[in-house]
Structure 1
């Protein structure tokens, strides 16, 4: 089993010294450099770069620079995706994001984790667990999503939350670690309508 296969299986793998993985990350860094240095008027060029970098995109999506990721090909975006500035996706495992997902500034989505013991950590070993963000999710500013998490459809993650466990559909979560505050109800929709 090679290092990529170990990562995909959620096993410890050599992320720092494996030549194939280093090459893949360097390739992504080159594309991200081009993306992050485009002029604001070059929206079509930005989408072109992202379509060549990411595993899957919808027709309608926007990621505002700067954006950073590890590989790119492990990221799948649904339709009508929007991410504000400062998004970081450590996509050592699959990151699947549904349709109509909105991400505020400075959000981190991290599939990668490291062993607690210093010996294996100093060997450059890490693990990666996939992340799934279902449709119609809103993620507030500064949120950190940790390995192996699933965020249910229609949920809202409040600014500054650290999500280290699954989030059920249709709820508001907040805090560190993120906890369910309450369900999202029809009154929330009515309260937000312009008068």
Structure 2
């Protein structure tokens, strides 16, 4: 119908945008997995001595750059951690805004909002660690060395990724994410109550 409301279409695009917002922060880890898969497919080994070339680039260098983009440098700098937390907080705020447009029911917003909060509060700090651990072990990554030799060349950022688990809990992003979710829950609950009261007054005045 020509006069059909565009609201369902807007919700559809908002949901697609929200999914994209959740995927983008983990593109570095997805790139590492893709490069490693291509390396294995071309016959490379993680413990080989000569550099493994994937699409004219050394696989280890691509992994190093991806880990840097993933934010592993926050391990050694409190200032970088602060900026990283602020960026994640801003990203989470954008997700909340898109979520409000994507779903209308209060319960759905709260459940999905909690899931988004959990994802962005945990995975950005643990995904680099888990990704490197898929390829590196104690035999390859030794504390006294200057990097983990992966696919024929040392990956300088690998140790930072492996040390993400040692970040101080008191200044980590999960606390910020938890506070933001509480604020989001209060806002959407108050907004739902206001809308319900307004609709009730509208019906009673007819």
TM-score scaled by structure 1? 0.24
Largest Rg, 1 or 2: 2
**Higher strand proportion:** 1
**Higher helix proportion:** 2
TM-score scaled by structure 2? 0.23
Larger RCO of the pair (alpha carbons < 8 Å, separation 6+) = 2
